[in-house]
Structure 1
């Protein structure tokens, strides 16, 4: 069975003019506040009843609480409305001390008497249901119950109460466990808003991606215990050296994976500011703590994984870790952190440079562990695209000297050889390996993302080639694939977070036999690597990008296209607040407002459609007749 790995978003097209200097916006009274999924409280109640089987009565009291009366053998499934996670508590009254079992589900498709799986098994019944024991069961008075620490449930939308005996239950609550470093879960500083009438789906996609990341900011003591408990689960293992950390999924694996971190990290920092940066910093601290002292290689995964326990290694994930370190430096502006860890970062880079083949200039993929794609090994295109980006980017942090020069030269040679050895002119795409007939999505997408394609004709050919792999679901643009995840697939997904992947037919049988053993209930429905559009809408559509550490240099290259007329977004880095607004009037005039910290330098780039003249803060800019774009350099 084919499957789609949800990963990145798309770019569209537009133009621009104006500059400002302001402070953070607050979302409470803004038009985009309605898209925020984050709960207003850490103690949330179900918003409704999903389903009932057997003899169950539900009474809504004037106080707003729900009183549920279940006879033995019946069950009720409660809906929290969005993905939640943490500890469940309630009051129960029963003659029995063991009147109930609890079952959790992310997907409405798997609402049943047992839970989603956190361990892959062909029977889809690993976790089963959790039998609770009341401290003191009495029919005369209610007893309060709170799930124990090991029964932390990282991600679910639906909670099923199975009545083993007659029981009355009320005050059902989930104590939210994610993002413990945010006193107010709705206080994320980053935002995005497209004001067009038909752009609602883009706003929903941005905030679902942001919320997916928030559910992945995990306390350090909530990792998956290994060996795994069966039946059941235990989520009280240590997953990082500091808390909280950014993990791959809310339900599972609940572990640090550098490949996921490369997508998640920038989103966490963009959407949540300081708390997001802290989660990334703690994740990187964990990877650096376990860096191989001899080789400089960074771990394939964090300690709460079987891969870590078995000593599995990965060339691609090593480089993803380096990219995440660069991203953290850019978003945080924390030069002290860079200086403190520079020796370790440099050793990680030297692990790559020492393995670049003298003849080809590329790295041979020896440690083939990845996200389980097939046909790894050799001079793999994805690995070498990642290496190019890591070397070129980290060379800019090295400052003047031999390190920057040698890393930059190695990156430049990778780019030349990538095009010389991997470019297939007949198909207009990059091969997966020099002698391969496979033109893999990752190697070609990364070539576009990181600027490995040398000409406009190459870039256009690769884009067209990637489109030939698309089907009726995706990944054609944001509205198709991510719109499906939020709308058309509403019977499968949470409606508030993004799934780690799906089968090509749109079902949950992601990866099928590849480690998941055809266990669709194992698939994670709040998985950070699927939130790429949250980045793409800001850096691609609005076009607001950070170019140097902290955003000391930035650029705005809006690409709205004909369908979008109004887009704005803002976020904070360690240097301060950045914000961009682009509005296209009915007469075609385009207004751009930019906010950036004092002392930063920016570049605004207007595409070919920007004819004539543009005025920025009273200064007039003219595009000369021979110019195809208008470029303005600004100092804030």
Structure 2
């Protein structure tokens, strides 16, 4: 997520805003509504991914075995779909594709049945994980002509699957006819043409039905076993996140089904539920904004679901289905900027669960409800010291976006205790040393650059909070300590050979994405080092996103973290590299919004490998920490960020890159902030229209050249490199104007 609160220029800007508001208080209306700067555009409603009705139908169906009239399950009319399985034959199955991730309870309307049918119901986000191929060995040698072998295991076998004995030119592929789980025998056709020695490796395709949910972490999921006895609706259990449903008739008999669907049980947001929105001339970026919003919605647990009375924001739709502090740093702003008050309630409720498990020493758990076992409520996991600090930052974010002063005041002692806990890891060198892990799970040792910068950020955030509702003296102390950390990071952890900050004092020669990205975003890197850091970070780029660092990987094997890539895009926007930010966005998230990608879910993924795939079935393909494009497109491209609580003071500063136009709305406690801007192809003219609540104030910064002319509501306010109104200043390619709330039409004419 992006903020503009961690550096001292904020205080100067706020002072100018307040002064301008006082100066202009007697002016009255600050402008009249003018024609919007953006052109006529298609409505943003088609980008919304939430289902329009509570009952969701599949969009495609594929079959295996004996299945008649399968398209009835998609079209919703026609003869009933009938699955028939005979003893020893291929179990009949239908694979239902819902086109994108959904969550809820699958159900089927049974019209007729024969025998005592047993159905298995498996769900998966990715089709490749809806079946699990078997891998075993031949335990007893078999001769040519044999049609049966004894295997070490018969797990994940299914009649009708192909089975391959051996590898390479000696491989023999056959079709499984039957198997005996007790005797561990596998029968197949046709007969072997060559002898098979014992210990010959075997594999099958496609495998038996499986689930990609991690039941032990989520407390839900796994394969449902259904045994209907009469016509009527048959429902499975709740499944947290899936695109595919595989229904298999595992026993001999037949069953006829007239309809199939899912009772949607995530947060179902229609266009009417969106309190904020975004649209630009770039279709791919638009898809990213709404995919991030939908990812968040899939992660929202309503009150009463799974027996828990409270609202919660989970990290992933299917896994871990727990509140995580790091994820909240992205999810909180996403929830509030897209769903307004409804999203804020989920954030506040999640914070209450989190703070309810704080330790006596001040530590906040990384997850308050992780170890679910047989209890959906779970229990705290004190994951890392760094994640503990993330919890405090998530609470401060809630206040910044909502202005809920009563709540933040009530939890201020808890946040102070957390800060004191984090302070115990500060060394005499003013750096953080903690044999600890972070979001990519590997332990980092020594004085760690990322941990030190994270503590710097927490101190600056707490200083901001103390000035709002606490002690200015304490805030000054936090700022001084933060400044000492900033100086130490630059003096001790900068590596001139890398042209960037090293990973830690133990590993000074390792280039890492996250620490360097945060150094850009939060003003750690001085101006003269920024280009060097930007260049160094590009060495980590692949066609599918930026890796964590050379040789670095999560213990589970993945190398590309959208959470970390979001830090880098944020850093690039902050220092004015919009082109680089857009480039990395497209590499990392462009694949995720491509409907032709085999892993497409409509949501954002937890991680990727260098080849753009994922390396395990339980990889979450609807993970909240990956939703940073939604926040950044609102805050850095549309340009709207909160400065003081609840947007009482705001900033509008668009980073346009090569976009032609963007428009959108941001909800605040004082009313909506609406912005649209347009930039001509040759950058000779830029127009911006803003509607801001009258009882607020802020700054509007528009991109200009040294000699550009700026007019506000028809009045020239800047020309020839200087400004004569709104306490305007021209700095770093922008004309920044301090204004009270109201309606503004701004035009920049470049000469």
TM tier, smaller = 0.7 to 0.9
**Distance in 2 separating the partners of 1:143 and 1:289:** 44
Aligned to 1:501: 607
Aligned to 1:31: 43
Matches within 5 A, 1:151-166: 151-164=237-250, 165-166=253-254
Aligned to 1:575: 670
**Distance in 2 separating the partners of 1:375 and 1:304:** 20
1:103–1:161 contact (8 Å) kept in structure 2: yes
Q: Which runs of 5+ in 2 are unaligned?
A: 4-29, 35-40, 86-90, 132-207, 547-582, 723-729, 742-751
Task: Report the 3-state secondary structure (helix = DSSP H, G, I; strand = E; otherwise coil) of the residue aligned with 1:259.
Answer: helix
Q: 2:438 aligns with which of 370, 379, 384?
A: 370
Deviation of the 1:97 alpha carbon: 4.7
Matches within 5 A, 1:16-55: 31-55=43-67
Aligned to 1:326: 396
Aligned to 1:444: 516
1:362–1:384 contact (8 Å) kept in structure 2: yes
Aligned to 1:484: 591
**Are residue 630 (structure 1) and residue 735 (structure 2) matched?**
yes
**Distance in 1 separating the partners of 2:33 and 2:406:** 27
Deviation of the 1:63 alpha carbon: 9.0
Evaluate the alpha carbon distance shift between residue 127 and residue 345 of structure 1 in structure 2; reply closer, same or farther with a 3 A threshold. closer
Matches within 5 A, 1:232-247: 236=306, 238=308, 243-247=310-314
**Are residue 273 (structure 1) and residue 273 (structure 2) matched?**
no
Whose RCO is larger (CA < 8 A, sep 6+)?
1
**Distance in 2 separating the partners of 1:21 and 1:373:** 52
RMSD over aligned Cα atoms: 2.8
Deviation of the 1:309 alpha carbon: 4.8
**Distance in 1 separating the partners of 2:63 and 2:678:** 46
Q: 1:76 aligns with which of 94, 97, 110?
A: 94
Evaluate the alpha carbon distance shift between residue 96 and residue 402 of structure 1 in structure 2; reply closer, same or farther with a 3 A threshold. farther
**Distance in 1 separating the partners of 2:737 and 2:249:** 68
**Are residue 411 (structure 1) and residue 518 (structure 2) matched?**
no
* CA offsets 1:383-415 (integer angstroms, 9 cap, x no match): 221211121122112124322121121122111
Q: 1:314 aligns with which of 384, 388, 401?
A: 384
Aligned to 2:168: none
Task: Report the 3-state secondary structure (helix = DSSP H, G, I; strand = E; otherwise coil) of the residue aligned with 1:103.
Answer: strand
1:447–1:453 contact (8 Å) kept in structure 2: yes
Deviation of the 1:317 alpha carbon: 0.4
Q: 2:262 aligns with which of 174, 178, 203?
A: 174
Q: 1:531 aligns with which of 627, 642, 646?
A: 627
**Distance in 1 separating the partners of 2:424 and 2:464:** 19
Aligned to 1:86: 104
**Are residue 542 (structure 1) and residue 658 (structure 2) matched?**
no
Task: Report the 3-state secondary structure (helix = DSSP H, G, I; strand = E; otherwise coil) of the residue aligned with 2:673.
Answer: strand
Matches within 5 A, 1:109-120: 109-112=128-131, 113-119=208-214
Task: Report the 3-state secondary structure (helix = DSSP H, G, I; strand = E; otherwise coil) of the residue aligned with 1:243.
Answer: coil
Evaluate the alpha carbon distance shift between residue 251 and residue 301 of structure 1 in structure 2; reply closer, same or farther with a 3 A threshold. same
1:19–1:592 contact (8 Å) kept in structure 2: no
Evaluate the alpha carbon distance shift between residue 65 and residue 406 of structure 1 in structure 2; reply closer, same or farther with a 3 A threshold. farther
Q: Which runs of 4+ in 1 moved over 4 A?
A: 18-22, 50-53, 306-311
Deviation of the 1:426 alpha carbon: 2.3
Evaluate the alpha carbon distance shift between residue 83 and residue 488 of structure 1 in structure 2; reply closer, same or farther with a 3 A threshold. closer
**Distance in 2 separating the partners of 1:481 and 1:441:** 14
Task: Report the 3-state secondary structure (helix = DSSP H, G, I; strand = E; otherwise coil) of the residue aligned with 2:121.
Answer: strand
**Distance in 2 separating the partners of 1:248 and 1:465:** 31
* CA offsets 1:559-609 (integer angstroms, 9 cap, x no match): 212x31111121212332122211124673211112222222211223343
Larger radius of gyration: 2
2:425–2:434 contact (8 Å) kept in structure 1: no
Deviation of the 1:323 alpha carbon: 1.3
2:371–2:381 contact (8 Å) kept in structure 1: no
Matches within 5 A, 1:225-624: 236=306, 238=308, 243-292=310-359, 294-305=360-371, 309=379, 311-357=381-427, 359-366=428-435, 368-399=436-467, 400-436=471-507, 437-455=509-527, 457-475=528-546, 476-487=583-594, 490-494=597-601, 496-509=602-615, 520-561=616-657, 563-585=658-680, 588-609=684-705, 611-624=707-720
**Distance in 1 separating the partners of 2:660 and 2:494:** 37
**Are residue 190 (structure 1) and residue 295 (structure 2) matched?**
no
When the two structures are superposed, what TM-score results if normalisation uses the length of structure 2? 0.71
1:178–1:215 contact (8 Å) kept in structure 2: yes
Q: Which runs of 5+ in 1 are unaligned?
A: 1-6, 10-17, 23-28, 223-235, 510-519
**Distance in 2 separating the partners of 1:632 and 1:311:** 47
**Are residue 143 (structure 1) and residue 232 (structure 2) matched?**
yes
When the two structures are superposed, what TM-score results if normalisation uses the length of structure 1? 0.83
1:108–1:493 contact (8 Å) kept in structure 2: no
**Distance in 2 separating the partners of 1:281 and 1:62:** 40
